Structure 1
Amino acid sequence: MRDLKILKERTECMLFQANEKDSDNGWIGGNAPAYFDELEGMVNKETEMNFYLSIVNPFNETEMISIFAPKHFEERISKNRYPNCSLITMKHPKTEESKLDTFADPDLVKHFISEANIVSDKASFEERFLIKFGGTPRHIQGEEYYYNKLHDDGFDFIFQVDEDGYPDTLIKPRKNYPFSFGAIYLYAQILEDSIMNPIHSYWQFS
């Protein structure tokens, strides 16, 4: 369990990578957490979402944060900004990977999320990573309209997922990157000892 001050001070951040070595930190690709088995009708049949990633909350090992994206790229790209971002981002109890492939993205090969490497925020801008937790966002596009309203509504950056950090084995042959070689940025209310729902997001692409 880590101290939330890393999210408040923002001088350091945690960098995570994707690899094929099993870990307890979560995964990208594969099946969604079993928590979502009972939500199939609500989440998938109405919105046609694919599971993207789940990471164990570094500040509460009993929780996970999961990301789902619309199956169709047109739906993703037409709604990529807060408050109308089409991604579903949710904090929920930690569960194992489901045995059901209801939400599985057929273009992704499951990889695990590594242990965190803590570096200075400044140093993180020179490194490749799958996930950057804390610090300041490394944007692909600098327009402030992506995040100004989030700040106005009381939300702060918690982490980003960057497709620049994909290993070569993550995307199946002849398949496209889900976010066009882009990055997802997640924001939440940061309290004294917890990350508070709701979690909101936007994404950018090259």
Structure 2
Amino acid sequence: MNKVANISLGSSFAGIGRIGGNIPVCFLEKMEDIEGFKFYLTIQNPDNTDEYISIFIPDSYDTMVDNNIYPNCSLKVFTHSFSDESNNSFYTLEGLHKSSLTEYKEVENGIFGFVTKAQRPQLIQDEDYFFRKLEEDEFTFFLQIDEDYYPESLISGNYILGYGAIYLYKHNINGKIIAGFWQYS
């Protein structure tokens, strides 16, 4: 079974996270870690309801494209406990309308959503050089975040990932969650 969470337009729905908006409060004391990045989303870890995963995107799209594969994937991933949204808008992605993420729902294998926990990713480009080094270094696929599932009015302007997807991986021994790679159409 896969677990999926989707976007609920608007920010009043109390789900398991959000896409867009301001950085979580916990990053106000970690500004040096996110300098040169914009906040993308925060979502509850599907394996640990006390832990949240936040993803930050580089300011420069060219940097993202040039560094899209482990061990040099330029996206930053942080795990933390629940943290409210701050008032700091410096790291907010312009054109991305803040919206809540629905609770995870169990679905059949092969069914995907905006956020999907599955045994295997649904790749845009099915080339093993994307994940070979990750597997050699004892990482396993964990979550996929896919722009194909954006609601129509979520974004004004260009897609953040060029109509792409982020593939998070989890280390088999220490449990660290990283951005393994991202792909675009």
Alignment TM-score > 0.5, same fold:
yes
**For structure 1, which runs of at least 5 residues remain unmatched after alignment?**
1-11
Q: How does 1:12-27 map to 2 (within 5 A)?
A: 12-19=1-8, 20=10, 21-27=12-18
**Residue 145 (structure 2) aligned to one of 148, 161, 167:** 161
1:197 aligns with 176
Match of 1:178 in 2: 160
Which SS does the other structure have where 1:24 is aligned? coil
TM-score, with length taken from structure 1: 0.84
Q: Which deviates more, 12-21 or 25-34?
A: 12-21
Aligned-partner residue type, residue 169 of structure 1: S
State how far apart, in whole Å, the 1-side matches of 2:6 and 2:33 are: 31
State the SS of the aligned residue for 1:62. strand
Given the alignment, which residue of 83, 97, 100 partners 2:85?
97
Q: What RMSD, in angstroms, separates the aligned Cα atoms of the two structures? A: 1.5
TM-score (norm: length of structure 2)? 0.93
The aligned residue for residue 34 of structure 1 is 25
Superposition deviation, residue 62 in structure 1: 1.8
Aligned AA (1:77): V
Alignment partners' CA distance in 2, 1:201 and 1:39: 22
Identity of aligned residues (%): 36
- After superposition, residues 91-130 of structure 1 pair within 5 angstroms as 91-122=79-110, 124=111, 129-130=113-114
In structure 2, C-alpha distance between the alignment counterparts of 1:136 and 1:69, rounded to whole Å: 24
Q: Post-superposition shift, 1:200?
A: 3.5
Instruction: Judge conservation of contact 1:89–1:201 (CA < 8 Å) in 2.
Output: no
What code does the residue aligned with 1:142 have?
D
Provide the secondary structure at the position in 2 that maps to 1:61.
strand
Aligned partner (choices 126, 130, 134) of residue 146 of structure 1: 130
Question: Which string of whole-angstrom CA distances, capped at 9 and with x for unpartnered residues, describes residues 83-140 of structure 1?
Answer: 1000001111221111211211012000110011211213x1xx5x211112310000
User: 2:49 is paired with a residue of what secondary structure?
Assistant: coil
Distance (Å, rounded) in 1 between the aligned partners of 2:177 and 2:146 = 21
Q: 1:22-67 CA deviation, whole Å, 9 max, x = no partner?
A: 12300001112111111113321xxx10000110112222210011
CA 55–169 in structure 1, closer or farther in 2 if over 3 Å, else same: same
Are the equivalent residues in 1 in contact too, given 2:45–2:53 (CA < 8 A)?
yes
What is the letter of the counterpart of residue 151 of structure 1?
A: E
Structure 1's consecutive aligned runs of 4 or more residues displaced over 6 angstroms after TM superposition are none
Alignment partners' CA distance in 1, 2:158 and 2:40: 14
Task: Report how many residues are paired.
Answer: 183
Q: Which residue of the partner structure matches residue 41 of structure 2? A: 53
- Higher helix share goes to which structure? 1
